[in-house]
Amino acid sequence: MHRISTLRVSPLCLGGNVFGWTADGNESEAILDAFVEAGGNFIDTADSYSTWVPGHRGGESESVIGGWLRHRTEADSVVIATKVGKHPVHRGLRPANIKICLDGSRRRLGLETIDLYYAHEDDPHVPTVEWLGVFDQLISAGDIRHYGLSNFTAERVEEVLEIATGEGLALPVAVQPQYNLVHRAEVESGLGAVCASHHLAMVPYYGLASGFLTAKYARGESPHGPRAARVRGFATDAGFDVLDAVVGVADELGVEPATVALAWLRQQPGVTAPTASVSSVEQLPALLAAAQVRLSRSQVHRLSKASTPFA
């Protein structure tokens, strides 16, 4: 287990963006069961999941997780992270909006207290001190335990910390950037150093680059499936060069490419728990194995060198 302030979390965070989307309710609950039975306890979702699906209004993932929690005796040991600010109907970090969205998330999840509540994205239209004040109030009221920052730049994380400290408000405990072998620049150009200097847990998302790093897509073929639009940005010659290196290391170790991609991420400085999702129980063991696999210095170097264009 790793620590995010007072929270003890597993070395892999299970992404909930697929619940109610590419994984229906029954499959989602089976995935959650298998994850917890394997020792996982850290689950990530958002109120905006899955508004990108035609006919969905958002909150589908939270509702699936909430339904699962209601019949789990180990629910108290599960750490739930959700987010506010990116729902297309309830966008932004206005104090009133945060409170309305939190009430909805708590209702769907069936929780009185959210363990980790992220600002899903920055909001330049609201004074920082105002939304920081709301997070501080929510912690004092017991509505949330901690808060974090998702999709914030290094400069803005520094500003948030400075303002919160100056005003005597609660500080964020976690940062959630996109980070993987084909998306490295924002973390390695400054955000990672900020997290390290302020002892912020880094919980990167898209650990498998929307499935690209599982080797399910072939060079020269157009990406297919529900995540195709997200994968196209990775499916370049440089991206497939990285994937070739991942597959090479996976063959050496006798593991799946997904295991290698997440193991590389886990071994990067400051990473507390990579976030990755699966659409079926059968895909889960490859993710869980990343917590047990330790890449050699040579293997890490080879992967990092292959992904230099993305650094």
Cα radius of gyration rounded to whole Å, the chain: 19
In a domain, 162, yes or no: yes
In a domain, 253, yes or no: no
In a domain, 197, yes or no: no
In a domain, 57, yes or no: yes
In a domain, 210, yes or no: no
- In terms of Cβ atoms closer than 10 Å to its own Cβ (0-12, 13-18, 19+), residue 279 is buried
| Residue 241: other Cβ atoms inside 10 A | 16
Q: How many CA atoms lie within 13 A of 84 on its CB side?
A: 25
Instruction: Tell me the three state secondary structure of residue 212.
Output: helix
In a domain, 282, yes or no: no
Rounded to 10 degrees, the C-alpha dihedral 272/280/224/236 comes to 20
Q: The CATH number of the domain where 171 resides is what?
A: 3.20.20.100
| Residue 159: other Cβ atoms inside 10 A | 14
Cis link prior to 50 (omega < 30° from 0)? yes
Which residues lie across from 79 on neighbouring strands? Answer: 42
List per-residue pLDDT tens for the chain, 311 residues long.
899 999 999 999 999 999 999 999 999 999 999 999 999 999 999 999 989 999 999 999 999 999 999 988 777 899 999 999 999 999 999 999 999 999 999 999 999 999 999 999 999 999 999 999 999 999 999 999 999 999 999 999 999 999 999 999 999 999 999 999 999 999 999 999 999 999 999 999 999 999 999 999 888 787 777 777 788 889 999 999 999 999 999 999 999 999 999 999 999 999 999 999 999 999 999 999 999 999 999 999 999 999 999 99
User: In which domain, by residue range, is 40 found?
Assistant: 2-176
Amino acid at 93: L
Q: Which residues are catalytic?
A: 49
In a domain, 262, yes or no: no
SS (H, E, C) 109-129: HCCCCEEEEEECCCCCCCCHH
pLDDT tens readout for residues 213-261: 999 988 878 777 777 778 888 999 999 999 999 999 999 999 999 999 9
Residues 40, 50: Cα–Cα separation, whole Å:
23
In a domain, 284, yes or no: no
pTM: 0.95
Buried-exposed string 46-59: b where 16+ CB fall within 10 A, e elsewhere: bbbbbbeeeeeebb
Q: How many domains does the chain have?
A: 1
Task: Tell me if 81 sits within 8 A of 13, measured CB to CB.
Answer: yes
Residues 101, 47: Cα–Cα separation, whole Å:
7
